[in-house]
Amino acid sequence: MPSDIRGDRLSPAEVESNFADLHPLLSKHEAVVEADRCYFCHDAPCVTACPTGIDIPLFIRQILTDNPSGSAKTILSENILGGMCARVCPTETLCEQACVREIEHKPVRIGELQRYATDHLMETGTQPFERAPLTGKKAAVVGAGPAGLSCAHRLAMLGHEVTIFEAKEKGGGLNEYGIAAYKAVDEFAQKELDFVLSIGGIELKNGVALGRDVTLDSLVSDFDAVFLGLGLGATNGLGVDGEALDGVADAVDFIEDLRQAPAMEKVAVGSNVVVIGGGMTAIDAAVQSKLLGADEVTLVYRRGADRMNASPYEQSLAKEKGVVLRHWARPEKIDAGPDGKVGSISFARTKDEGGKLVDTGAQFTLEADMVLKAIGQTFVPVPLQGNAAEIALESGRIKAGADRRSSHPKIWAGGDAVAGGEDLTVAAVEDGKQAALSIHNALTGA
Amino acid sequence: MANLQTNFLGIKSPNPFWLASAPPTDREVNVTRAFKAGWGGVVWKTLGEDPHVVNVNGPRYGAIHSNDRRLIGLNNIELITDRPLEVNLREIKAVKKAWPDRAIIVSLMVPCEEEAWKKILPLVEDTGADGIELNFGCPHGMSERGMGAAVGQVPEYVEMVARWCKQNTRMPVIVKLTPNITDVRQPARAAKNGGADAVSLINTINSVMGVDLDIMAPSPHIDGKGTHGGYCGPAVKPIAMSMVSEIARDPDTQGLPISAIGGITTWRDAAEFMALGAGTVQVCTAAMTYGFKIVEEMKLGLSDWMDEKGYTSVDQFVGMAVPNVTDWQYLNLNYVVKAKIDQESCIKCGRCHIVCEDTSHQAIWAEKDGQRHFEVNDAECVGCNLCVSVCPVENCITMEQQTDGVDARTGTPINPEYSNWTTHPNNPMRVAAE
Residue of B300, B342, B347, B394 to mutate, testing the A interface (most A Cβ within 10 Å of its Cβ)? B300
pLDDT value at B433 more than 60: no
Q: What mean pLDDT is predicted for residues B199-203?
A: 98
Hey, which residues of B are catalytic here?
138
Say if the Cβ atoms of B297 and A62 lie within 8 Å. Answer: yes
pLDDT the model gives residue B434? 55
DSSP state of A68: H
Contact A410, A237 (CB under 8 A): no
Which helix or strand (DSSP H or E) is residue B107 part of?
strand B103-108
Q: What distances in angstroms separate CA B16 from CA A113, B102, B264, B274, one per listed residue?
A: 29, 10, 12, 9
Please spell the DSSP secondary structure of A369-390, one letter per residue: SEEEE-S-EE---GGGTTSSS-
**CA torsion B176→B178→B181→B185, rounded to 10°?**
30
Contact A279, A303 (CB under 8 A): no
Please spell the DSSP secondary structure of B325-378, one letter per residue: ---GGGS-TT--EEEEE-TTT-----HHHHHHHHHS---EEEEETTEEEEEE-T
Taking the C-alpha atoms of residue B57 and residue A254, their distance in angstroms, rounded to an integer, is 70
- Residue A307 near chain B (CB below 8 Å): no
Taking the C-alpha atoms of residue A123 and residue A25, their distance in angstroms, rounded to an integer, is 12
| C-alpha closest to that of A423 among A360, A364, A389, A374 | A374
Amino acid identity, residue A357? L
Q: Are B263 and B400 members of one domain?
A: no
Say if the Cβ atoms of A67 and B304 lie within 8 Å. Answer: yes
Taking the C-alpha atoms of residue B209 and residue A102, their distance in angstroms, rounded to an integer, is 31
Contact B215, B221 (CB under 8 A): yes
- Residue A70 near chain B (CB below 8 Å): yes
For A64, which residue in chain B has the nearest alpha carbon?
B266
Q: Are B338 and B197 members of one domain?
A: no
Taking the C-alpha atoms of residue B334 and residue B348, their distance in angstroms, rounded to an integer, is 32
Q: Are B220 and B356 members of one domain?
A: no
Of residues B434 and A233, more confidence is placed in: A233
Burial B215-231 (b: 16+ CB within 10 A, else e): eeebebbeeeebebbbb
Contact A182, A20 (CB under 8 A): yes
Taking the C-alpha atoms of residue B354 and residue B390, their distance in angstroms, rounded to an integer, is 10
- Residue B300 near chain A (CB below 8 Å): yes
Taking the C-alpha atoms of residue B256 and residue B184, their distance in angstroms, rounded to an integer, is 14
Amino acid identity, residue B130? D
Say if the Cβ atoms of A36 and B70 lie within 8 Å. Answer: yes
Taking the C-alpha atoms of residue B340 and residue B337, their distance in angstroms, rounded to an integer, is 9
- Residue A36 near chain B (CB below 8 Å): yes
Rounded to the nearest 5°, which phi and psi values hold at B237? -55, -45
In a domain, B194, yes or no: yes
Spacing of C-alpha A210 from chain mean position:
21
Q: Is B50 exposed, middle or buried (0-12, 13-18, 19+ CB in 10 A)?
A: exposed
Q: Are B348 and B374 members of one domain?
A: yes
Residue ending a domain, choose from B287, B307, B324: B324
Angle of helix B155-168 versus helix B185-193 axis, rounded to 10: 30
Q: Residue B140 — pLDDT band, cuts 50, 70, 90?
A: confident
In a domain, B434, yes or no: no
In a domain, B44, yes or no: yes
pLDDT the model gives residue B171? 98
For A36, which residue in chain B has the nearest alpha carbon?
B70
Q: What distances in angstroms separate CA B92 from CA B17, B271, B292, one per listed residue?
A: 19, 29, 19
- Give the ipTM: 0.92
Q: Are B299 and B370 members of one domain?
A: no
In a domain, B387, yes or no: yes
Residue ending a domain, choose from B271, B305, B324: B324
Contact A252, A174 (CB under 8 A): no
pLDDT the model gives residue A1? 75
Q: Residue B1 — pLDDT band, cuts 50, 70, 90?
A: confident
| C-alpha closest to that of B402 among B393, B391, B413 | B413
Chain B residues whose beta carbon lies within 8 Å of the beta carbon of residue A62: 297, 300-301
Taking the C-alpha atoms of residue A8 and residue A315, their distance in angstroms, rounded to an integer, is 27
Taking the C-alpha atoms of residue B190 and residue B160, their distance in angstroms, rounded to an integer, is 8
Strand, helix or coil at B307?
A: helix
Taking the C-alpha atoms of residue A251 and residue A178, their distance in angstroms, rounded to an integer, is 9
Contact A276, A374 (CB under 8 A): yes
Q: B113: Cβ–Cβ under 8 A, 6 or more apart, which residues? A: none
Helices of type H across B104-221:
114-125, 149-152, 155-168, 185-193
Instruction: Tell me: cis bond preceding B220? Omega within 30 of 0 counts.
Output: yes
Amino acid identity, residue A390? E
Strand, helix or coil at A244?
A: coil
Domain count, chain B: 2
Say if the Cβ atoms of B301 and A65 lie within 8 Å. Answer: yes
In a domain, B429, yes or no: no
pTM of the predicted model, to two decimals? 0.94
Residue of A26, A43, A61, A103 to mutate, testing the B interface (most B Cβ within 10 Å of its Cβ)? A61
Q: Which structural domain range is residue B295 located in?
A: 6-324
Q: Is A263 exposed, middle or buried (0-12, 13-18, 19+ CB in 10 A)?
A: exposed
Strand, helix or coil at B24?
A: helix
For A58, which residue in chain B has the nearest alpha carbon?
B297
Say if the Cβ atoms of B301 and A69 lie within 8 Å. Answer: no
Amino acid identity, residue A121? L
Chain A residues whose beta carbon lies within 8 Å of the beta carbon of residue B304: 67, 69-70, 73
In a domain, B369, yes or no: yes
Residue ending a domain, choose from B307, B324, B341: B324
pLDDT value at B391 more than 70: yes
Q: Are B195 and B181 members of one domain?
A: yes
Say if the Cβ atoms of A37 and B68 lie within 8 Å. Answer: yes
In a domain, B433, yes or no: no
Q: A348: Cβ–Cβ under 8 A, 6 or more apart, which residues? A: A329, A330, A332, A359, A360, A361, A362, A363
Q: Are B361 and B318 members of one domain?
A: no
- Residue A403 near chain B (CB below 8 Å): no
pLDDT the model gives residue B330? 98
Instruction: Tell me: cis bond preceding A383? Omega within 30 of 0 counts.
Output: no
B13 beta partners: B6
Say if the Cβ atoms of B394 and A29 lie within 8 Å. Answer: yes
pLDDT the model gives residue B432? 72
Q: Are B148 and B255 members of one domain?
A: yes
DSSP state of A264: G
Tell me the per-residue pLDDT of B22-62, one tens digit each, with 9 for 90 and over.
999 999 999 999 999 999 999 999 999 999 999 999 999 99
Q: Residue B126 — pLDDT band, cuts 50, 70, 90?
A: very high
Q: Are B200 and B141 members of one domain?
A: yes
Taking the C-alpha atoms of residue A20 and residue A15, their distance in angstroms, rounded to an integer, is 9
Q: Is A445 exposed, middle or buried (0-12, 13-18, 19+ CB in 10 A)?
A: exposed
Q: How many CB contacts within 8 angstroms connect chain A with chain B?
A: 38
- Residue B317 near chain A (CB below 8 Å): no
Q: How far is B304 from chain A (nearest CA, A)?
A: 7
Q: Are B118 and B55 members of one domain?
A: yes
Averaged pLDDT of chain B: 96
CATH label of the domain that carries residue B393? 3.30.70.20
Taking the C-alpha atoms of residue A84 and residue A195, their distance in angstroms, rounded to an integer, is 12
Q: Are B299 and B387 members of one domain?
A: no
In a domain, B318, yes or no: yes
CATH label of the domain that carries residue B203? 3.20.20.70
Q: B147: Cβ–Cβ under 8 A, 6 or more apart, which residues? A: B48, B109, B110, B111, B112, B135, B138
Tell me the per-residue pLDDT of B216-271, one tens digit each, with 9 for 90 and over.
999 999 999 999 999 999 999 999 999 999 999 999 999 999 999 999 999 999 99
Residue of A39, A62, A103, A130 to mutate, testing the B interface (most B Cβ within 10 Å of its Cβ)? A62
Which domains are assigned to chain A? 21-124 (1.10.1060.10), 138-233+379-444 (3.50.50.60), 235-376 (3.50.50.60)
Q: Are B268 and B360 members of one domain?
A: no
> pLDDT per position in chain A (446 positions), as tens?
789 999 999 999 999 999 999 889 999 999 999 999 999 999 999 999 999 999 999 999 999 999 999 999 999 999 999 999 999 999 999 999 999 999 999 999 999 999 999 999 999 999 999 999 999 999 999 999 999 999 999 999 999 999 999 999 999 999 999 999 999 999 999 999 999 999 999 999 999 999 999 999 999 999 999 999 999 989 999 999 999 999 999 999 999 999 999 999 999 999 999 999 999 999 999 999 999 999 999 999 999 999 999 999 999 999 999 999 999 999 999 999 999 999 999 999 999 999 999 999 999 999 999 999 999 999 999 999 999 999 999 999 999 999 999 999 999 999 999 998 788 999 999 999 999 999 999 999 86
- Residue A33 near chain B (CB below 8 Å): no
